[in-house]
Amino acid sequence: MTALYNIADLIIEVVGQNAELKGLDGFKPFRVSDDASGAVATILLDDSLEDCDFERAEWIYSSEGDGVCYDFGRHAEGFCCRVMATSGSTLRLWHTTGQSTIRCATGAESDYSSYELRFLLWLAYGLAALPYGAVAIHTSVIMQGGKGYMFLGESGTGKSTHTRLWRECIEGAELLNDDSPIVRVVDGVAMVYGSPWSGKTPCYKLLRVPLGGVTRLSQAPHNRIRPLGKLQALGAILPSCPPNMAYDEALTDRMCEVIGGIIRTTPVYHLECLPNHEAAELSFNTLSNGR
């Protein structure tokens, strides 16, 4: 079985028994019926990966939290991942640099949760899309006036709260994605796209808008916003990019190329704020005026 998905204007082909990704509601809006010849990558589910030597992989990053445990590593010809399911089984991924097919061993559907499969697909998409200048950024992004505004910060900083405050007090403000939108620089313009990955908020939209501004949040007893220089802007955005990729020089270089395109075309700010409407109005007034 084969299904095609348009994610950030990149057609991804998914092949396997569960290619329609039943149970993963976030992917349905991105399903398309284009010819598979236009696909930039194939994610092959149900592969046994028996010929892949995970034992010799160099595991360079491990993470445990947010309901998932996983390892990311390098092998002689590319990258590999293993996602530890709560059932005790392991979902695995094998990527070969320069090849368009990413192989995934998922096993029986009873061996993993929909969250764990969704996460494996996020890892696979990240590797498939990066050569095309597409990066998932951990952010909550709001649309207003035909532009998208990204709010970055560590988990618990208040990204979702701030975009909710925009929706409450800024006319026309609409959520595009609440966790992992995709950013590309297209013809010199930074564009932000909805994606099938939106954290705990079910907001899955096949939409794209020009990126009007990026703001890193921090909690404070006051509301204060300031523009960031290029080096500070890099430091503000990079920590919100996929952390596993930051442990490989080649992947980091590609991410920094995308970030560089964002910085060249888009103002970046730091907002110290309270969780109130005044903070939302301050960021809106600053971002919408580009100052």
Secondary structure of 69-95 as H, E, C letters: EEEEEEECCEEEEEEECCCCCEEEEEE
CB distance 11 to 4 below 8 Å: yes
User: pLDDT at position 141, please?
Assistant: 98
Which tokens belong to 17?
């028994």
Q: Which of 7, 19, 124 is nearest to 72 (CA)?
A: 124
Domain at 135-289: CATH code: 3.90.228.20
How high is the pLDDT of residue 197?
A: 97
pTM for the model stands at 0.95
Where, residue-wise, is CATH 3.90.228.20 in the chain? 135-289
Q: Of how many residues is the chain composed?
A: 291
pLDDT value of position 68: 87
Running along the chain, 291 residues long, what does each successive block of 10 average in pLDDT? 96 94 92 84 94 96 89 97 91 95 88 90 97 97 97 91 97 97 96 96 97 97 97 97 96 97 97 97 92 50
